[in-house]
Amino acid sequence: MSAATIGRMREGDRQNWVAHALGELQDAGFRQGGARRAVVELLGEQDCALSAQEIEDKLHARDHAIGRASVYRALEQLEGLRLVQRLEMGTGTASYERVRPTGEHHHHLVCERCGRVVPFEDAALEQAIARVSRSASFNVSDHDVTLHGLCRGCSS
């Protein structure tokens, strides 16, 4: 599959998530407010998690005058509807990542020195989690994996 094809697939996934999230918010009785919509659209563009501060900074860079309280309120509403997942990656600050309706997801590598976050996918890891779930007779409803270490730049 070419890089252009993958890029088009990701763009379609992002647009579908934005439409899905806005529809879910409307169905839950939330108005289509400017701040909420801006947060949804920004998250729809991301390939990985962002902190509330990063979301606020990116929105301000786009000339959206949205306060921190509005960002947190939108994130809380999105999390309550299971449209975003709150991630604690050991950095002291929570990050938020969109939840795809398909259930597809990735995990994270976090550099302990520079804080760089690298997303990764691993089918064998997913299979191992399913195997542990079955062997423990435990219905795993959700999971996130965060591995800590040093990135190439910090380890050399």
How many domains does one find in the chain? 2
Q: Which of 51, 73, 98 is the last residue of a domain?
A: 98
Does 111 share its domain with 129?
A: yes
Does 139 share its domain with 76?
A: no
Does 119 share its domain with 51?
A: no
Residue type, 7: G
Does 60 share its domain with 125?
A: no
**Residue 16, CB-side half-sphere exposure with 13 Å CA sphere:** 10
Q: What is the pLDDT of residue 10?
A: 53
Q: CATH no. for residue 148?
A: 3.30.1490.190
Q: What is the pLDDT of residue 11?
A: 55
Question: Contacts for 30-35 with beta carbons within 8 Å, 24 or more apart?
Answer: 30/77, 34/64, 34/66, 35/64, 35/66, 35/67, 35/70, 35/71, 35/73, 35/74
Does 55 share its domain with 8?
A: yes
Q: What is the pLDDT of residue 13?
A: 66
Q: CATH no. for residue 48?
A: 1.10.10.10
Per-residue pLDDT of the chain (156 residues; tens, 9 = 90+): 333 333 444 555 667 889 999 999 999 998 877 899 999 999 999 888 899 999 999 999 988 888 899 999 999 999 999 999 998 877 788 899 998 877 778 888 888 888 888 888 888 888 998 899 999 999 888 788 888 899 999 988
Does 24 share its domain with 87?
A: yes
In this prediction the pTM is: 0.75
Does 72 share its domain with 37?
A: yes
Does 89 share its domain with 118?
A: no
Spatial separation of the C-alpha atoms in residues 131 and 143, rounded to whole Å: 14
Domain span at residue 50 reads 3-98
Does 90 share its domain with 118?
A: no
Q: Which stretch of DSSP H or E encloses residue 129?
A: helix 123-135
Does 76 share its domain with 116?
A: no
Residue with tokens 């040093």: 150
Does 134 share its domain with 117?
A: yes
Q: Which of 80, 98, 116 is the last residue of a domain?
A: 98
Per-residue exposure over 20-57, b if at least 16 CB sit within 10 Å of its own CB, e if not? bbbebbeeeeeeeeebbbbbbbbbbebeebbbbebbbe
Q: What is the pLDDT of residue 103?
A: 75
Does 148 share its domain with 78?
A: no
Q: What is the pLDDT of residue 8?
A: 42
